[in-house]
Amino acid sequence: MSLLARKEEVEARVAAACKRSGRDENEIKIIAVTKYVSLETTKSVLDKGLLHIGENRWQDVKPKWEALHERGTWHFIGHLQTNKVKDIIGKFAYIHSLDRMSLARELDKQAAALGIEVNCFLQVNVSGEESKYGVAPEHFFDFAVEVSKLKHIHITGLMTMAPYEMAADATRPVFRGLRELRDRLNERKIFPHDITELSMGMSGDFEVAIEEGATWIRLGTVLVGKEG
């Protein structure tokens, strides 16, 4: 299938999921995850008007970012080691994987040095799966309170991943759990602004995520494809 055909199919599935759940399609933003494809294909993705690009390792994205960063909005979606912050700070508009205080402090320190604010999503391990990164739900509010004290971090929303091998419909409680955490966060007014964004849903489960309130879906295989 061509990239254009995949894009049209994904857009139709997004529209159908919105219709089923009474949501406005304009609330859903698609991040094209290009980690499995070449620089050439990433260029084609941008040519098709998919302007949000997601990547998860600096060493892989570097040549793409250097060639194409002015053409899109770049999202760092993968686990971020503290010693890699210096490579990516200031280059990505959003970091989806803020999951611990040591990382928050390093991001804040380096953002302060550059005189910028860095937009982050707090990553939560809603499913409790051991292999997944993310703060545990029982530590989430304490973590949010600590992060809220850092002046150079701006919290955009919350992010989670459902276990890869889970059947799509079994993921629903994971996505619902993230939405409920967001709502409770706003009730407690931990941040001075309302948190609206939910980064959740991948190739295998994005429709369920939309039905449960996703505002950013991160799509690799189903949209961009896989090479090599």
Ligand X SMILES: *Cc1c(COP(=O)(O)O)cnc(C)c1O
Binding residues vs ligand X (CB under 6 A)? 33, 35, 56, 77-78, 161, 202-204, 218-222
Give the nearer residue to ligand X in terms of CB position, either 78 or 177: 78
Give the nearer residue to ligand X in terms of CB position, either 35 or 100: 35
Spatial distance between the Cα atoms of 119 and 93, rounded to a whole number of angstroms? 7
Tell me how far the alpha carbon of residue 185 is from its chain's centroid.
18
Q: In 53-80, which positions are buried (b, 16+ CB within 10 angstroms) versus exposed (e)?
A: bbbbebeebeebbeebeeebebbbbbeb
Residue 113 Cβ vs ligand X, minimum distance, rounded to whole Å: 27
Position 116: which residue type? I
In this structure, the number of other CB atoms found within 10 A of the CB of residue 116 comes to 13
Inter-residue contact 76 to 96 (CB < 8 Å):
yes
Instruction: Give the Å distances, CA to CA, from 25 to 17, 32, 204.
Output: 9, 17, 19
Q: Which residue is nearest to ligand X (CB)?
A: 220
* Helix extents (H) in 33-171: 39-47, 58-68, 85-88, 101-114, 140-147
Residue 145 Cβ vs ligand X, minimum distance, rounded to whole Å: 25
Residue 203 Cβ vs ligand X, minimum distance, rounded to whole Å: 3
Residue 156 Cβ vs ligand X, minimum distance, rounded to whole Å: 15
Spatial distance between the Cα atoms of 123 and 199, rounded to a whole number of angstroms? 9
Give the nearer residue to ligand X in terms of CB position, either 51 or 222: 222
Residue 16 Cβ vs ligand X, minimum distance, rounded to whole Å: 18
Q: Name, in order, each residue with C-beta under 8 angstroms of 125's C-beta and a sequence gap of 6 or more.
A: 99, 132, 133, 134, 135, 136, 137, 160
Residue 213 Cβ vs ligand X, minimum distance, rounded to whole Å: 17
